[in-house]
Every structure is written in C-alpha cells, then in structure tokens.
Amino acid sequence: MKTLIQKLPLDHQSSFVARTYRTPFFETPWHQHREIELLLVTEGGGTALIGDSLGEYHPGDVYLLGENLPHWFRKADAKAVNSAVVVHFTADFWGQAFLELPEMHAIKTLLAVAGQGLKLQGALRHRIARTLQALERQRGFEQLAGLLSSLHQISQSAEYAGLHQSPIPTYSTNDQAQIHAVLEYTMTHFREKVRLADVARLTHRSVSAFCQYFKRSTKKSYGHFLTEIRLAQACKLLSTTSLPITQICYESGFHNWANFSQHFRTHFGQSPSAYRRQYSLTPAPAGGESGREMPPAP
C-alpha cells in the first residue's frame, strides 16, 4: 500500500516552509503527511476534523499537528474565501542530533505530544499568531529563530488542548480517497436521512464491511461520527441564532425530539436550552423560546 506523503515545496534558501494558503489553495481533502504543521487560520471558518476530533475553526485559531496526523479543514460556506498561514517542517530538518541537545528536551517532548494535535488557547494563541504572521515574511536565520521561539513558547505553556485520542494509522492513497468521500458525503447530507447502504457504496463495500472499515480507520463508528456532525450543527445554531430549539433539532438532522435530547444530554451533560443560555451569542426570541425543551421520552 502506498503511503501518503506530502512533499515540501522547498527552495534552496530554506529548510522548511512558511506561507499563506488561500482559496483555492486552502482547500485540501482529508489527508496526512510526515511533516509537522503549525497553522494559523486567518480567514473563514468551518469544521476541523483532526484525527478522531471534530470541532469548528475560526480566524485566529492556531493548531500544532504532529507527524501523520490526518486532518481536514472544511469550509462552512463553499463560496467563501478561507486562508491560513501554514508552517511545514519535519522533526529532523535541523538534524536529529540537534533534538538530542539538553536544551531541546522540552521541544522534543512537545513534538511527540503534537502527535495528538494541539489547539492553542489564551494568551499563548495570540502570541504565536503574531509570530506566525511575521514568520512568513522573514528569511534565513531570523525565520528559523522565529520557528524555534514559537515551539519553545508552546513547550513551556499549558495553554493548549489535546485533540486526537487514538493511535494513528498510516493510510494508503486509496484509503484517503475513500474516507474523504465518506466524510464529504456526510457533511453534505447529515440533515437528511442517511442510509448506510448509500455510504458503504462510496467505498465499494457491503454495509458490514464498511462499518468495520470506518471504525478501524477513524476509531469511531459511523453512527457516532454522524451524530457528532449533527450535534455540532445543533450547537452552532443554538449559540448563533434565535431559532426555536425544536426547529434546530430537525435542521440538525435529528428526526425526533427524544433522540436529539438524549444524544445532547449524553454528549454535553446538559439540555439544549441550558447550552443556549450558557453559550448563546444572540438574544432569545421575544416572548420566550417557542421551542422550549420537552421532557425526554421514558
């Protein structure tokens, strides 16, 4: 099986890459590569699928993604312009002996931890974002020092969240294409009634073979993944709109209230209405929520 390896577009003046990728070059399918990736989102937003982690990305978000960690940044709006400053480098681009220096112990440890994918937070996120914006314009030693400084600052901080939890497999070119087709189909059709037979057909497998393949590849069942997509959409609508909660239930792909409420409580430990009160960016509809929460089915 041929392993997916993304080649660095190096020139004779640099040993790593720091550049902005803007639509249409921002859009890449679900993929993995041996290069470590330090990324600052500068425009647009959407869904970030990093290993077995699913979440939203927004301008200003900074990620450190380790070797071979599969990832996909999917735009929320297909017509929108998205961009990111991306630094690609291999763990040994400065020579393996360099990482063995005692002064590099913290950075060596960080690069190992980055295998799970890190999303920076707080003041650290703002500092690294400023450094990355400057890094693209720098050259030579100044650019190398900027990258080392960024990694050192992250290694000395606890202001980040780990994303991926499972062992990372290596995917063949065929695997990457098939899994991307499944992910894209799911992101496009999650509001509808999704039939496993239709999804399995994208991978040229039977339903049972597909279910085993998807779980082996992503470390979660397809049903669990589909529910996560729907819950993420529900959270987005709860926090950014004043739509009635019952309407949000159906617009997120759930086909009955009891199912929606149960999944939401299990995943977030609170009701949809409590989530809205905690995270809403918009006022509730006049006269109260017409979609106020109903008690779960027994």
pLDDT higher than 70, residue 298: no
pLDDT number for residue 43 = 96
| 121 domain residue, yes or no | yes
User: CB atoms < 10 A from the CB of 65, how many?
Assistant: 27
| 297 domain residue, yes or no | no
Question: Are 49 and 120 in the same domain?
Answer: yes
Question: Are 21 and 144 in the same domain?
Answer: yes
Q: Which helix (H) or strand (E) holds 285?
A: none
169 or 127, which is more confident: 127
Question: Are 111 and 225 in the same domain?
Answer: no
Question: Are 47 and 72 in the same domain?
Answer: yes
Question: Are 137 and 236 in the same domain?
Answer: no
CA 261 → CA 75, 225, 244, 246, distances in Å?
27, 17, 14, 10
| 109 domain residue, yes or no | yes
Question: Are 143 and 25 in the same domain?
Answer: yes
Mean pLDDT, residues 60-67: 96
DSSP label of 121: -
Determine contact, residues 261/231, Cβ cutoff 8 Å. no
CATH classification at residue 268 = 1.10.10.60
Number of domains in the chain: 2
pLDDT higher than 50, residue 219: yes
Question: Are 149 and 21 in the same domain?
Answer: yes
Report the mean per-residue pLDDT for the chain. Answer: 87
| Cα Dmax for the chain | 67
Q: Which of residues 127, 162, 197 is at a domain's end?
A: 162
Q: Which helix (H) or strand (E) holds 56?
A: strand 53-57
DSSP label of 298: -
**Enclosing domain of residue 69:** 17-162
59: nearest Cα among 51, 72, 67, 48: 48
pLDDT higher than 50, residue 295: no
CATH classification at residue 35 = 2.60.120.10
Question: Are 50 and 132 in the same domain?
Answer: yes
pLDDT number for residue 78 = 86
Question: Are 97 and 68 in the same domain?
Answer: yes
Q: Which of residues 127, 142, 162 is at a domain's end?
A: 162
* pLDDT band per the 50, 70, 90 thresholds, residue 289: very low
Q: Which of residues 110, 134, 162 is at a domain's end?
A: 162
d(CA 141, CA 228): 44
Question: Are 248 and 178 in the same domain?
Answer: yes
pLDDT number for residue 287 = 33
The residues, ordered by sequence, that sit 6+ positions from 112 with a Cβ below 8 Å of its Cβ are 66
DSSP label of 288: S
| 9 domain residue, yes or no | no
pLDDT number for residue 95 = 83
| pLDDT over 90 percentage in the chain | 69
pLDDT number for residue 165 = 76
* pTM exceeding the 0.85 threshold for the entire prediction: no
Report the DSSP beta bridge partners of residue 48: 55, 73
Question: Are 202 and 245 in the same domain?
Answer: yes
Mean pLDDT, residues 100-123: 94
| pLDDT over 70 percentage in the chain | 90
* pLDDT band per the 50, 70, 90 thresholds, residue 168: confident
Question: Are 143 and 29 in the same domain?
Answer: yes
